[in-house]
Amino acid sequence: MELVDFSQTSLWVSLASITFNPLFWNIAARREYHTHWITSLFNGDRLKGCYAIAVTIFSLGILRDLLFNHALSHQPVLPLLLSAPVQLLAKLLFVSGMVFVLSSTYMLGITGT
């Protein structure tokens, strides 16, 4: 059994999205740091600019997750991944990751994250 079906277009679209997102964040953030282009789009209001880029990054992340989920649904499934212990471990890791994300967002706020 092949572990990855490279012929699926959804796999390549998902990979492109996964690659694009951090590139976009870093380029936009560096450009904002040096030129304040996002701030200038909002007439000098840094807070509105920060929220706008946060919404953009969050939206791109949702799209990336949807594309990734679609790509996975078209890939072969390794039977080991369907076992109860692996499923439990996956759920525990997911919950612990969400605790880290939510607690850092709570402590730092949207503008600090």
In which band, very low, low, confident or very high, does the pLDDT at 113 lie, cut at 50, 70 and 90? confident
pLDDT for the residue numbered 88: 98
Q: pLDDT per residue over 17-42, tens digit each?
A: 999 999 999 999 999 999 999 999 99
Closest to 11 in 3D by CA, of 59, 65, 74: 74
In which band, very low, low, confident or very high, does the pLDDT at 53 lie, cut at 50, 70 and 90? very high
Rounded mean pLDDT of the chain?
A: 94
Q: pLDDT per residue over 71-84, tens digit each?
A: 999 999 999 999 99
pLDDT for the residue numbered 1: 59
Q: Which long-range contacts (CB under 8 A, 24 or more apart) does 69-72 make?
A: 70/10, 70/14, 71/8, 71/10, 71/11, 71/13, 71/14, 71/15
Residue 45: CB partners within 8 Å, gap ≥ 6? 39
